[in-house]
Amino acid sequence: MGSATSELPSSRTPLRDTAETGLKIVVVGGFGVGKTTLVRSVSEIRPLNTEEVMTQAGAGVDRIPESTGKNTTTVAFDFGRISLNDRLVLYLFGAPGQKRFWFLWDRLFSGTLGAVVLVDTRRMDESWYAIDRLEHHGTPFVVAVNRFDDDTARHSLQEIRAALALPDHVPLIDCDARVRSSGKDVLITLVDHLHHLARERELTA
């Protein structure tokens, strides 16, 4: 899977006058899993990103899987915005994936209503930390499997759920981070999950 995205915004799209609710959403996952690509593909504004070219000096610090094919890395966060309808706006924060930047995640989680955990099945172990931190903070999340072209194993969603020890109530879906419609489906799944949890809290209150 390359990093090219579909339907990139060519100019800024102003926030709609009818917008009433803004939700902060964080996109987390391992290095090179597609977080920056997802934010870029769905954002209706030109995304802010803090990608820097990786240098040889960082080779001893960072373990860079060859499968990613990356030569840049996010050092702070990516930011984008998408309106799901006339009233609901999502503010997207893509977290850095390299382990030495994971300390920033707890700060990004502040004020977050929900999260997307992107998974690369070739490096599934890099997803566990993200899931652990979200559960620690009590932040609802969905898991999206970013299917890469060279992923020959093609594990089923049931196999992935078992490998990640995901509870049944956590949504797990396939996605292609390069495609706007696919990324939007992930975000809609998250919002639906948040609404469902809110209704459950109301019923048990």
Banded pLDDT at 115 (limits 50, 70, 90): very high
* The CATH number of domain 21-204 is 3.40.50.300: yes
List CB contacts of 103: < 8 A, sequence separation 6 or more: none
Segments making up each domain of the chain, as ranges:
21-204
Give the per-residue pLDDT at 154: 83
The rounded distance, in Å, linking the Cα atoms of 112 and 22 is 11
Q: State yes or no: pLDDT of 67 exceeds 60.
A: no
pLDDT single digits (tens) 27-54: 999 888 999 999 999 999 988 876 555 4
Q: Which residue has the higher pLDDT, 172 or 49?
A: 172
Banded pLDDT at 191 (limits 50, 70, 90): very high
The rounded distance, in Å, linking the Cα atoms of 145 and 166 is 13
The helix (run of H) or strand (run of E) holding residue 7 is none
Give the amino acid at 19. A
pLDDT single digits (tens) 138-167: 999 999 999 988 777 789 999 999 999 999
Give the per-residue pLDDT at 57: 47
Q: State yes or no: pLDDT of 61 exceeds 50.
A: no
Residues 175-191 have a mean pLDDT of 97
Closest CA to 88 of 197, 188, 201, 200: 188
Percent of the chain whose pLDDT exceeds 90: 54
Give the per-residue pLDDT at 103: 76
The rounded distance, in Å, linking the Cα atoms of 161 and 169 is 11
Q: State yes or no: pLDDT of 94 exceeds 60.
A: yes
The helix (run of H) or strand (run of E) holding residue 189 is helix 180-204
The rounded distance, in Å, linking the Cα atoms of 8 and 45 is 9
Distance of CA 10 to the CA centre of its chain: 22
Q: Which residue has the higher pLDDT, 57 or 30?
A: 30
pTM beyond cutoff 0.85: no
